[in-house]
Amino acid sequence: MTQAVRNDLRAGIVEAAARLLREQGVRAVTTRGVAEAAGVQAPTIYRLFGDKDGLVDAVAEHIMATYVAAKSSTTVDDPLANLRLGWQTHVDFGLANPELYALLSTPGRSEPSPATTAGIEVLRARVHRLAEAGLLKVDEERAVMMIHAAGTGTILALLAQPPATRDPGLADAMYDSVLRGILATTPAAPDATTSTIAVTFAAALPDLPALTDAERTLMAEWLKRSLAAGPDR
């Protein structure tokens, strides 16, 4: 089998799985069901994707490719407004693609989907802009995980309710709650608390001149240890 034939076969299986997901829901996306829809034998799916998780990852990447590209390119100058834009885009996508989101959020996966990982990297870049502006009072990684967890929980909570009974203000309320947990006390102007200074310094550390990689690593470890011992922990 040539690489071109292999690619075409793989694309056809992914498209068949995406169609099943869209038309019949999560339960239809089984190895047997996808094989029948794509007109191939089940071993072909295992050979091309490894297992069902591999197939789901491929479907997720297929559906989310445009979404992640748009999320990466859609930015505004204000880092706070930029973060809110990313949050709203993420919530909108989850609500518009409930079956896919349910698959991506299934407990027990050995590792996150590449599509999910790509989305987190976009979020991480937006959070880094907040740190550079002196607006964070917790370290960047904790802020990323808090926002990610809140976003996932919000979407799953909304999807668990019939559309007509969903609380339209829940996403905004959760977002504002998370901001209170990660932002410095005066986000309009950076504050001078030690935790905020440490987070801002950590964001600038890679660009400090005249330091060796070992010195940067050691300084980053000191800052991480100081933040871990702070009152926000």
pLDDT above 50: residue 187? no
Query: Quick one: pLDDT band at residue 147, thresholds 50, 70, 90?
Result: very high
Mean pLDDT of 27-50: 90
Which residues, including other chains, have CB under 8 Å from residue 170's CB and lie 6 or more apart?
A: 154, 157, 158
* CA proximity to 198, closest of 142, 156, 152: 142
Query: Quick one: pLDDT band at residue 44, thresholds 50, 70, 90?
Result: very high
| CA–CA gap between residue 34 and residue 163 (Å, rounded) | 29
pLDDT above 50: residue 24? yes
Mean pLDDT of 145-155: 95
The answer to whether 55 and 106 have CB atoms below 8 angstroms apart is no
pLDDT above 80: residue 233? no
Structure tokens at 205: 């550390």
- Residue-wise pLDDT for 202-222, tens only, equals 777 787 777 888 888 888 888
pLDDT of residue 74: 61
* CA proximity to 169, closest of 180, 179, 157: 157
pLDDT of residue 189: 44
pLDDT above 60: residue 129? yes
pLDDT of residue 180: 93
0.85 surpassed by pTM? no
* Domain boundaries along the sequence of the chain: 1-50, 53-228
pLDDT above 60: residue 232? no
Q: CATH number of 1-50: 3.40.50.300, 3.20.20.10, 1.10.10.60, 3.40.605.10?
A: 1.10.10.60
Q: Taking all residues of the chain, what is their mean pLDDT, rounded to a whole number?
A: 84
Which of 88-92, 98-102, 115-119, 178-182 holds the top average pLDDT?
Answer: 178-182
- Give the Cβ contact number of residue 123 at 10 Å: 21
